[in-house]
Amino acid sequence: MTLQNENDYQDLLSLWSDLESGLGIILNSPDSIQEFEQRVWQYDRWMRDLLQRDPDLGLYLLFQLASNSPVGYSASHALICAVLSHLIVLEFGLPEAARTSLVHAAMTMNISMTALQDRLTEQTERPNPTQQEAIAAHPINSSATLNRIGVADALWLHTIEMHHDEATDKGELRAISPVRRLARILRVVDRYAAQISPRKLREGRSATESIRSIIAKSTHPPDEVSHALVHAVGLCPPGTYVRLDSGELAVVVRRSDQPNLPEVAIVINGEGLLITPARRKRLAVAP
């Protein structure tokens, strides 16, 4: 980390937490928010500013915050998806307007089921039929909600409508329409972020297991978006935990030029005891 002291770390963590809290407020009460679209723009600029300070540290703090979010899963998931979408856009070099529509879609794609999404993460049983209907309808309902409260960006709205459409997996990314392109990116990001997040019903998958699963399910190999995601954040993003062959537990702190060679800090030894201070090393992750 490039921080000078513990106060710098806490200050930056507080900024990410405040951003997540603000996003949670507008997702939970969209009809009571004046100038909703402008608020989303504000949070997008805030997110970009935090990432520009130190993208590795931003990812680290974001994933650490997500593991114990005081706001709720929905806001945490939305912010992670927005950050990952932003980083993938940089990989592909998409136009700024497309980047904005995608990031805003990532922040708001589940707005019609925010309360339900938070409740589902606490459930120990599978969704009931009524909940399943709400889940299935949320792409259309979220787009309709945003349109009703004044969002005018058609690409933003249509991306949300299509972000669970399996048909977006077909065709080369550069050859399909802009909305299908963004919907495919959001579909991959959404699945990845959901898989690595723990639920009451199940534990989260490891980051490497999640990306392998997404690539394996691709209907158009090689999956351009999944590979761009790996290149952007690595096989194990900063802030995620890895269990070493030695039995030690480490947290990823920085990416490297090679997706399978992150820098980690070993925090628990093979006997389950805390290591103070944490021991840093470069880790080779099997792709």
For tokens 């710098």, what's the residue? 8
Contact 83, 47 (CB under 8 A): yes
Task: Tell me: do 198 and 274 sit in the same domain.
Answer: no
Contact 99, 86 (CB under 8 A): yes
| Range in 209-223, 225-239, 265-279 the model is least confident about | 209-223
In a domain, 1, yes or no: no
Domain stops at, among 233, 252, 269: 233
Domain limits at 171?
6-233
d(CA 47, CA 152): 22
247-256 tens-digit pLDDT: 988 888 898 8
39-60 tens-digit pLDDT: 999 999 999 999 998 889 888 8
Domain stops at, among 233, 250, 272: 233
Task: Tell me: do 173 and 248 sit in the same domain.
Answer: no
Number of domains present in the structure of the chain:
2
**What per-residue confidence (pLDDT) applies to 222?**
53
| Range in 22-31, 69-78, 199-208, 259-268 the model is least confident about | 199-208
Helical axes 73-92 vs 6-28, angle rounded to 10°? 110
**What per-residue confidence (pLDDT) applies to 124?**
82
Share of the chain above pLDDT 70, in %: 86
Task: Tell me: do 228 and 135 sit in the same domain.
Answer: yes
Q: Which residue has the higher pLDDT, 78 or 196?
A: 78
